[in-house]
Structure formats: structure tokens, C-alpha cells
């Protein structure tokens, strides 16, 4: 990205952030659902789930963080859809600015807003008894994985934001993403699942990502899960980015 494009993206990012700060309820709403799920599983269902020696809140948190991000990127698709339908893109096209700056502004806004939601959820988890022996390196590893996962899902959200016919369709894509952690190791060990469900749970991206974050929080060796998780995240990111840019060029051509 050239210096001019970076400057244009910075200006457009400021515009997007103003919209977010004027409606902080979106960030709060993004955090409310994961927190409600965390309360439900910890205080209602957690006592019936055997996760070994780890406390259930420690076991649960990585999956809740992924749900937080999946909930948050729905607003990225929504904001992008609203800009597209309001004619903002056409007005930007008439200005001497980098065309890619519009998309990047939405993506970076999503990154910042979702990280705020993640911090809120982690803070509540500590209040509920979450404890970790992770050192600085492990925390940086968790942060890196969260950022990369958010980046990948945000570019995935750009696709429905550009292609949806209705505002409901723009945000509805996130429902399968929110549901996916329920068929993974996020809430219960996969060993307790019946055969076909267990196979799916162990071979879908959420399980390797959750296992990696859980191991980092516990200060344990991550093992092969880390490389599987990174392969999934990078694969989703590359495909989503290329598809988004292709769709965007066709939209504004």
C-alpha cells in the first residue's frame, strides 16, 4: 500500500471510528451475547460437564472469545452494506482517493471494535474466576491468534457486506460462525461426542484454534494444534481477501 493510500485509509478510518464511537451500543451488544453464554455455561451447565482438572471457566473462555469475534464482524458487514446502499461509495469514487482505502477503513474499524469487545469479555471472565499461568510470551501468542482470527473473519464479512440484497442478509452470515464453536471442543471435550459429530468437531477450524488458545492460557505446550490453527486462519484470510477485492472491483468498475 502506497503512502497516499495509507493517508487516505487513515482519513476514512477516522470517519468509521466516529460512527462507532457515536453508537457504542454496537460494541456493548457484541459483548453481551458471549457474556450471557459464559454465565449460562459456568453457572447453569458447567457443573454437569467434566473437563478434567481445569476449572470450567478456564476451559470455556477460548471458545467464548471466538464467538465474540464472530458476533462483532456481523456489524462490519452491516456498516459496509449501509455505506454501499447509501451511495457513499459513489461519492468516494469521485474524489482523488485510493479506492482500496474504503475497504481497509472498514476492516481496521472492525479490528479495533472487536478487540475492545474481547477485552470486555476477558475482564468479565476474570471476575467469574478465570485464572491463567500464562507468561508474557503466551499472552502475546493469544493476542496474535485473536488478531489474526479477527482479521480473517473481517475480510470474510466484507463479502456479504458487498453482495447482500438486504440489511438482514448482510449480517445473517455470522450465524453459522457463531454456531460453529458449539460443535467443537469449545464447550465440551470432543471425546464425549458420537462418532460422526466427533469427526466433524475434530476436523473443523474452531477446535484447533480453541485448543491452541487454551494451551497458551494454561502455559502448556501447544503442539500440532497451533500449526493446524494457523493454516486454517491463513487459508480463510487469503481466500476471503482475494474474493473481497474481486467483488469490490466489480462493484465499483
Name the pTM for this structure: 0.86
Give me the pLDDT at residue 138, please: 92
Give me the pLDDT at residue 228, please: 94
- Sign of the Cα torsion 141, 200, 118, 71 reads positive
- Grid cell locating 170: 448482510
Contact 237, 151 (CB under 8 A): yes
Query: Taking phi first (over 0 means left), then psi (-120 to 50 degrees means alpha), and beta for anything else, what does residue 164 get?
Result: beta
User: Using CA atoms, how far apart are residues 182 and 173, in angstroms rounded to an integer?
Assistant: 16
Average pLDDT over residues 103-117: 84
Bigger pLDDT: 51 vs 218: 218
| pLDDT at 58 > cutoff 80 | yes
Closest CA to 69 of 162, 180, 199, 208: 180
The H or E element containing residue 47 is none
Alpha helices in 41-99 (DSSP H): 56-86, 88-93
Average pLDDT over residues 210-225: 90
| Confidence label for 10 from pLDDT (cuts 50, 70 and 90) | low
Give me the pLDDT at residue 227, please: 94
| pLDDT at 77 > cutoff 50 | yes
Count of CB atoms within 10 A of residue 140's CB? 12
Q: Which residues of 39-64 are buried (b: 16+ CB within 10 A; e: fewer)?
A: eebbeeebeeeebeeeebbbbbbbbb
Average pLDDT over residues 208-215: 94
| pLDDT at 187 > cutoff 60 | yes
Query: Taking phi first (over 0 means left), then psi (-120 to 50 degrees means alpha), and beta for anything else, what does residue 87 get?
Result: left
Give me the pLDDT at residue 242, please: 94
User: Using CA atoms, how far apart are residues 177 and 200, in angstroms rounded to an integer?
Assistant: 15
Contact 251, 102 (CB under 8 A): no
How crowded is the C-beta side of 175, counted as CA atoms within 13 Å?
6
User: Using CA atoms, how far apart are residues 103 and 17, in angstroms rounded to an integer?
Assistant: 14
User: Using CA atoms, how far apart are residues 194 and 180, in angstroms rounded to an integer?
Assistant: 17
Q: What Cα–Cα distance (Å) separates residue 167 from each residue in 70, 81, 163?
A: 17, 7, 11
Residues 6+ apart with CB under 8 A from 157: 73, 74, 76, 77, 80, 110, 173, 174
| pLDDT at 4 > cutoff 50 | no
Give the chain's mean pLDDT: 82
Amino acid at each position: 500500500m502506497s503512502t497516499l493510500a495509507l493517508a487516505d485509509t487513515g482519513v476514512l478510518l477516522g470517519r468509521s471510528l466516529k460512527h462507532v464511537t457515536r453508537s457504542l451500543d454496537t460494541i456493548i451488544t457484541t459483548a453481551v451475547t458471549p457474556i450471557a453464554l459464559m454465565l449460562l455455561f459456568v453457572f447453569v451447565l458447567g457443573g454437569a460437564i467434566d473437563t478434567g482438572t481445569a476449572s470450567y471457566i478456564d476451559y470455556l473462555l477460548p471458545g467464548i472469545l471466538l464467538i465474540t469475534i464472530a458476533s462483532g464482524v456481523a456489524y462490519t458487514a452491516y456498516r459496509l452494506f449501509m455505506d454501499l446502499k447509501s451511495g457513499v461509495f459513489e461519492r468516494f469514487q469521485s474524489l482523488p482517493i485510493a479506492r482500496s482505502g474504503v475497504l481497509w477503513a472498514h476492516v481496521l474499524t472492525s479490528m479495533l471494535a472487536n478487540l475492545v469487545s474481547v477485552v470486555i469479555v476477558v475482564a468479565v471472565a476474570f471476575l467469574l474466576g478465570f485464572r491463567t499461568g500464562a507468561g508474557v510470551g503466551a499472552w502475546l501468542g493469544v493476542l496474535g491468534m485473536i488478531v489474526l482470527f479477527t482479521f480473517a473473519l473481517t475480510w470474510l464479512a466484507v463479502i456479504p457486506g458487498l453482495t447482500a440484497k438486504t440489511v438482514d442478509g448482510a449480517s445473517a452470515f455470522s450465524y453459522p460462525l457463531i454456531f460453529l464453536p458449539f460443535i467443537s471442543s469449545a464447550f465440551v471435550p470432543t471425546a464425549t461426542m458420537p462418532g460422526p459429530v466427533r469427526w466433524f468437531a475434530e476436523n473443523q477450524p474452531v477446535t484447533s484454534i480453541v485448543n491452541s488458545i487454551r494451551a497458551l492460557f494454561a502455559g502448556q505446550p501447544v503442539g500440532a494444534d497451533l500449526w493446524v490453527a494457523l493454516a486454517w486462519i491463513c487459508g480463510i484470510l487469503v481466500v476471503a481477501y482475494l474474493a473481497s477485492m474481486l467483488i469490490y472491483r466489480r462493484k465499483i468498475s
